[in-house]
Structure 1
Amino acid sequence: MSTAGQVNGALFPDQIDPERAVESRLLWMMSIYAVLHLLAIVFVALRVYTRLFKIREFGIDDAFMVCAGALGFGGGLVVLIVMGTRGGLGRHIDTLSQDEITIFFKMNFLQLVTSTLVGIACVKISIGVSLLRLIPIGWHPRVILVTIGFVVAYTIMALLSAFLYCTPLAGFWDRRIPSTCFDRNLWVFFAYFNSCSNVLTDFIFATLPISVISTLQLRRKLRYYLIYIMGLGYIAGCCGIAKAACQTIFRSNPDQTYVELNIGIIAGCAPTLGPLLRGRLGLSNRDNEENIYTQRSGVPRSTHGLPASKFGYVKAASLYEQHERDSGASHFSSQKGPCVASTSLPGHDS
């Protein structure tokens, strides 16, 4: 444990290099953040439109993704604007006043809780629930459910570590308040663990659907499109790796920033836009050959439903199937055999 509260304006040198004091990355940082936040909002809006007006079915996974988008906007972009206008975002920390530092770390705490922790958890839960609808039988659902449980567990642990780090909590962002805080090394450990857990779950959720797609008989263009879209989850994982690497040099380079949540939202929403983009991209798979609805599973072909998951949510009709049903298209090929997989590949992440 360490004691805070003995810090005042003398923490920083009285003489600061004027050139260093005016250096700022604010415009560059806000430009990147704004573009990614707006892209994430657009993808969430397109997902909602597709689900409500193309598929006519709004599910639990969609609700979680909408929550992630709202948290990303409110706890991300809005907070960053406050940090930029009042908290010295983009400037060297040793050139800021104590009031600016306090505002910065207060907004940083809000961003940590809403965007970095709860927001990313919502993205992963949304993807997990979507994958349960895509792969509702065999060993895949068990892996998905365990992964979702792991996401919930380490997110709760991270929230507890944030809220209990300092007593009183205000000591987290205001060093002038007498407070008792845990050792910094413990905080760094929790940060590493959370980052590594995010990377692990990103790769799990990216690999599961790709492993299924590779076993299906699809037109080449559709197969490559689906693998590419689902592979966006690996980009979110790479962002997590970069974040963990930056955390190792935090003391010597405190100006690092992260865009993990927005990449996760984009990767999670992109696969659900198939019914909206399929005609434009020529991704239909209505050949006489075995199509994406067919997979070696041992489950009889049915127009009713696949076995319900523990969420009571899985339905036989996927995003693509619903779209084809509404347009009067046939659900299945004329070939005989088991059928379990759907052409919809909802959700992928961060």
Structure 2
Amino acid sequence: MSTYEDLLVGMLRDPPPRNEPLPLSNRRETMYGATLSFLIVSWCAVIFRLWVRVRVVKELGWDDAFVLFAQLLNTAATVVVCLSVEAGLGQHMLYLPMKDFTQYLTLFYIEHAMYNTNTALIKIALLLQYLRIFKAGAMRWTCIALLVLVTLWGLGFSIAAWFPCWPVAGYWDRTIAATCYGFGFGDVSSFIATYKAHSASNMMFDIVIFLAPMVLFRTPNLKPKNVIAMVGVFTFGAVVVATSVWRLRGIVETQGATYPYVDFTWWSPTMIVLSCLEIDLAVICASMPIFYPLIEKSLSAIFVSYEVRVVEERVVDDYGLAYELEHRDRAGSLKSNGTSTRELTVGDEEEVLAKGGRKVGFSVGCDPLSEEGRGGGLRTNVETKAKPKWEL
């Protein structure tokens, strides 16, 4: 059974080149640029989500609380990653001063524990969001079952990540006597197996959770714009799954940053950056369905308009003349206009019909075949637009 010390001895026997060129993933600008850029975008999505829930829908829920908590934890983890870059992330750990390497292990312990907790929090937030949609039936019970499984899964791996050694300081200070297991590197085989188990199960839950709402495509009379919007959200979810798969692949290839030799600061940058991006993308994906309908509605108000017009024409005698004069406009008709963007509409019947509106004509109180009926009666023109597209 190999131990941490055995791997260090092997690295000292065959040390890596001191001046080895840095891969793109190990450069500071790459790590800073990728993590901070996506963090800003994810915060924009969270703020927009909360604004819609507070100011528009006026209905905050537990899913919003979990998304906000996950994003706060994600921000703290990203800050710790940036600090770990200054402590030596991206460099060969053999050539780091012992003080810097101890600081790096301390920072890595914090960011890794946060990541393990955050993977569960964002999945719980998504499942709570699904429960808003599925009010009854098999899908609701499926979401509840997944919620229980994810909670237990996240609790187990979070405990393993926050308490990998006893005392905990034994994780970053290998000079003190400590009992370590799993992520704590008690031995190489259990260390690698724990990392693979978490990454593989994380990927599996990602796939199941992001595929669960696919049942919505079976909704009768689903509008084309609904389909496009849902495909967009699920495509974004597929990117999250792909990021999780990419991270698992890196862990398998480097055996948890221990192959071909143990070098945590050199082999870890890609996996650490992908961990940050995975949470960022998951937060964005969780927020998209909340604010997309508002964007779609706003775009419809700009580019699409509708008009409802009622035209009333009657054959009147002297007794009804006063009534008609009171209720007619200058053109001799009574009109009601309900247009949200009136300046963008022409208002003629031909254009409305060309846009898919309807014209309904009928007469009341006279024979439609008589001369009187041909010249008057009650005619009603109703011009409408289709229902809002984001309705399932």
TM-score by length of 2: 0.65
Amino acid at match of 2:38: L
Where do 1:164-179 residues align within 5 Å?
164-179=163-178
Counterpart position of 1:142: 141
- 1:256 counterpart (270, 274, 278): 270
Counterpart position of 1:27: 29
Q: In the alignment, is the contact (CA less than 8 A) between 2:226 and 2:390 conserved in 1?
A: no
User: Could you say if the C-alpha distance between residues 57 and 285 of structure 1 is closer, same or farther in structure 2, counting changes exceeding 3 Å?
Assistant: farther
Inter-partner Cα distance in structure 2 for 1:344 and 1:98: 60
- 1:242 counterpart (242, 246, 264): 246
Counterpart position of 1:92: 92
Using CA pairs under 8 Å that are at least 6 residues apart, name the structure with larger relative contact order, 1 or 2. 1
1:77-126 Cα deviation digits (max 9, x unpaired): 210221122x1122232332222221112111111122x12212111111
Counterpart position of 1:162: 161
Inter-partner Cα distance in structure 2 for 1:136 and 1:248: 40
Give 1:69 deviation, angstroms: 0.5
1:105 aligns with 2:105: yes
User: Could you say if the C-alpha distance between residues 194 and 15 of structure 1 is closer, same or farther in structure 2, counting changes exceeding 3 Å?
Assistant: closer
Amino acid at match of 2:251: Q
Q: In the alignment, is the contact (CA less than 8 A) between 2:28 and 2:85 conserved in 1?
A: yes
Counterpart position of 2:205: 201
Counterpart position of 1:122: 121
Inter-partner Cα distance in structure 2 for 1:269 and 1:207: 16
Inter-partner Cα distance in structure 1 for 2:269 and 2:305: 52
User: Could you say if the C-alpha distance between residues 12 and 31 of structure 1 is closer, same or farther in structure 2, counting changes exceeding 3 Å?
Assistant: farther
Inter-partner Cα distance in structure 2 for 1:240 and 1:201: 10
Amino acid at match of 1:41: W
Q: In the alignment, is the contact (CA less than 8 A) between 1:154 and 1:194 conserved in 2?
A: no
Q: In the alignment, is the contact (CA less than 8 A) between 2:113 and 2:162 conserved in 1?
A: no
1:58-88 Cα deviation digits (max 9, x unpaired): 11000000001100001x2210221122x11
Counterpart position of 2:327: none
1:77 aligns with 2:78: yes
Where do 1:1-350 residues align within 5 Å?
12=12, 17-20=17-20, 25-74=27-76, 76-85=77-86, 87-114=87-114, 116-181=115-180, 182-250=186-254, 251-252=258-259, 253-257=267-271, 258=274, 259-282=277-300, 343=390
Inter-partner Cα distance in structure 2 for 1:190 and 1:220: 45
Amino acid at match of 1:256: T
Q: Which structure has the bigger radius of gyration?
A: 2
TM-score by length of 1: 0.73
Inter-partner Cα distance in structure 1 for 2:13 and 2:187: 25
Inter-partner Cα distance in structure 1 for 2:95 and 2:21: 5
Q: Secondary structure at the match of 2:20?
A: helix
Which consecutive residues of structure 1, in runs of 5 or more, have no partner in the other structure? Answer: 288-341, 346-350
Q: In the alignment, is the contact (CA less than 8 A) between 2:166 and 2:178 conserved in 1?
A: yes
Question: Which structure dedicates a bigger proportion of its chain to helix?
Answer: 2
User: Could you say if the C-alpha distance between residues 117 and 48 of structure 1 is closer, same or farther in structure 2, counting changes exceeding 3 Å?
Assistant: same
User: Could you say if the C-alpha distance between residues 60 and 11 of structure 1 is closer, same or farther in structure 2, counting changes exceeding 3 Å?
Assistant: same
Which consecutive residues of structure 2, in runs of 5 or more, have no partner in the other structure? Answer: 181-185, 260-266, 307-388
User: Could you say if the C-alpha distance between residues 7 and 143 of structure 1 is closer, same or farther in structure 2, counting changes exceeding 3 Å?
Assistant: closer
Identity %: 21
Q: Secondary structure at the match of 2:19?
A: helix
Inter-partner Cα distance in structure 2 for 1:186 and 1:40: 34
Give 1:263 deviation, angstroms: 1.4
User: Could you say if the C-alpha distance between residues 228 and 21 of structure 1 is closer, same or farther in structure 2, counting changes exceeding 3 Å?
Assistant: closer
Inter-partner Cα distance in structure 2 for 1:55 and 1:121: 26
User: Could you say if the C-alpha distance between residues 175 and 6 of structure 1 is closer, same or farther in structure 2, counting changes exceeding 3 Å?
Assistant: farther
Counterpart position of 1:315: none
